[in-house]
């Protein structure tokens, strides 16, 4: 029985060696049909892979375009905010300047009126007017300054 097993094993090894030898001889002759089929499958797989990569890059490009558009919108919004802020600051400064000038002008007028009505200056002008009735030279001076 041992001999039969050994003979059977040798016979299987011989068959395997013969198959391997046939493949080596065929490989040296050129491409086998199996090699050609394998290349076709590889080419198909590569083509599908390239299409998927192209689609992915297109999606990435679209995403970058969306981000660029959004960034441009934000920059436009910031320019609008800057313009509004600048306008408001200019208006507030202009209003403060106008208001200050108006208040100062009105305060001067009120102060002069009050001094003329109630102050010692009023009394002095009245005294000079009475004296101008008798002195023509003084009357002329007061007329020149529109006090008579």
The answer to whether residue 4 is domain-embedded is: no
For the chain, the distance separating the N- and C-terminal CA atoms, rounded to the nearest angstrom, is 160
Q: Give the pLDDT confidence score for residue 25 in this predicted structure.
A: 64
The answer to whether residue 132 is domain-embedded is: yes
The answer to whether residue 25 is domain-embedded is: no
The answer to whether residue 103 is domain-embedded is: yes
The answer to whether residue 67 is domain-embedded is: yes
Interval 93-142: pLDDT, tens = 999 999 999 999 998 888 888 877 777 777 788 888 888 888 888 888 88
State the residue range of the domain holding 138. 31-144
How many structural domains are present in the chain? 1
The answer to whether residue 44 is domain-embedded is: yes
The answer to whether residue 6 is domain-embedded is: no
The answer to whether residue 87 is domain-embedded is: yes
């Amino acid at each position: 029985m041992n001999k039969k097993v050994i003979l059977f094993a040798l016979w299987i090894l011989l068959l395997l060696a013969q198959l391997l030898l046939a493949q080596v001889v065929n490989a040296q002759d050129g491409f086998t049909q199996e090699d050609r089929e394998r290349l076709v499958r590889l080419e198909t797989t590569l083509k599908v892979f390239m299409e998927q990569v192209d689609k992915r890059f297109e999606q990435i490009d679209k995403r970058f375009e969306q981000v660029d558009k959004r960034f441009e919108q934000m920059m436009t919004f910031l320019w609008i905010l800057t313009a509004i802020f600048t306008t408001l600051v200019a208006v507030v400064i202009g209003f403060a300047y106008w208001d200050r000038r108006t208040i100062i002008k009105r305060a001067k007028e009120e102060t002069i009126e009050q001094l003329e009505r109630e102050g010692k200056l009023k009394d002095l002008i009245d005294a000079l007017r009475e004296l101008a009735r008798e002195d023509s030279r003084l009357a002329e001076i007061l007329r020149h300054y529109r006090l008579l």
